[in-house]
Each structure stands twice: as structure tokens, then as C-alpha cells.
């Protein structure tokens, strides 16, 4: 059996059984493997959310103000967590598609806007 056909867990068990690694090493590597798998799944999920939020933002008029809650409701409150939508907006902010506008000193006065630069590039 080739190495590529082994799953991570099966490979670790085989290495443990053959005495290549100790039980302590097995536990440590297994924990790291689970953590990395969970992180990869979370990143894949966030990429999916980013794509859906970006599609919605691109349908909005440039310069119009909106709150994150309206985006969250538009993409589906039952389908996506608030934190995922906020991370998507932050990602789009870094990409230059949206910008954050603070109308006051408290968090309830934070708005978002689609930037003008993105619409000029499309034309």
C-alpha cells in the first residue's frame, strides 16, 4: 500500500504499531492534525462566505451606506453567522471593495459603503 492511500489517522496508527513513534508523539501529532483539519474547514467556510458577501456587495450602488446587518440578512441569517459576515466585510475592506464609515463614537453608528474605485475599474 502506498503512502498516499493512508489517512492521517491510519498513518499515525501504523507508525505507532511499528514503533516509529511513541504514544506521547502519537497524541501530540494527532492533536495537531485535528486542529489543522478544523482550521482548514473553517478557512474553506470563510472563503465561501466571502464569495457570497462579495456577490451581494457588487450588486449594491457605489457610495450608498449600509450596515453589516443588512448584508447578513441579504445573504441569509440562518445560513451564516454574524462573525463570518463581519470577517467577509473586513476582507473586502482590505481588498478595497468596501470602506468603513464611522458616524459617531459608538459601535451602533458604524456603516459600510461600496467604494467608488471598484466601479471605475469595471467601466
Query: Over the chain, what HEC string results?
Result: CCHHHCCHHHHHHHHHHCCCCCHHHHHHHHHHHHHHHHHHHHHHHHHHHHHHHHHHHHCCCCCCEECHHHHHHHHCCCCCCHHHHHHHHHHHHHHCCEEEEECCCCHHHEEEEECHHHHHHHC
Q: Which domain holds residue 35?
A: 3-122
Model pTM score: 0.74
Say how many domains are in the chain.
Answer: 1
Reported as a single tens digit per residue, the pLDDT across 67-106 is 999 999 999 999 999 999 999 999 999 999 999 998 878 7
CATH number at residue 20: 1.10.10.10
Reported as a single tens digit per residue, the pLDDT across 31-78 is 998 899 999 999 999 999 999 999 999 999 999 899 999 999 999 999
Amino acid at each position: 500500500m502506498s503512502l498516499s492511500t493512508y489517512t492521517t489517522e491510519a498513518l499515525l496508527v501504523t507508525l505507532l504499531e511499528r514503533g516509529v513513534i511513541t504514544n506521547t508523539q502519537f497524541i501530540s501529532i494527532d492533536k495537531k492534525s485535528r486542529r489543522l483539519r478544523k482550521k482548514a474547514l473553517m478557512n474553506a467556510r470563510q472563503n465561501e462566505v466571502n464569495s457570497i458577501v462579495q456577490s451581494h456587495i457588487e450588486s449594491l450602488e457605489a457610495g450608498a451606506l449600509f450596515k453589516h446587518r443588512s448584508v447578513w440578512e441579504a445573504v441569509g441569517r440562518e445560513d451564516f453567522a454574524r462573525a463570518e459576515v463581519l470577517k467577509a466585510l473586513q476582507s473586502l475592506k482590505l481588498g478595497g471593495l468596501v470602506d468603513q464609515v464611522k458616524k459617531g463614537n459608538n459601535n451602533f453608528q458604524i456603516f459600510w459603503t461600496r467604494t467608488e474605485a471598484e466601479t471605475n475599474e469595471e467601466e
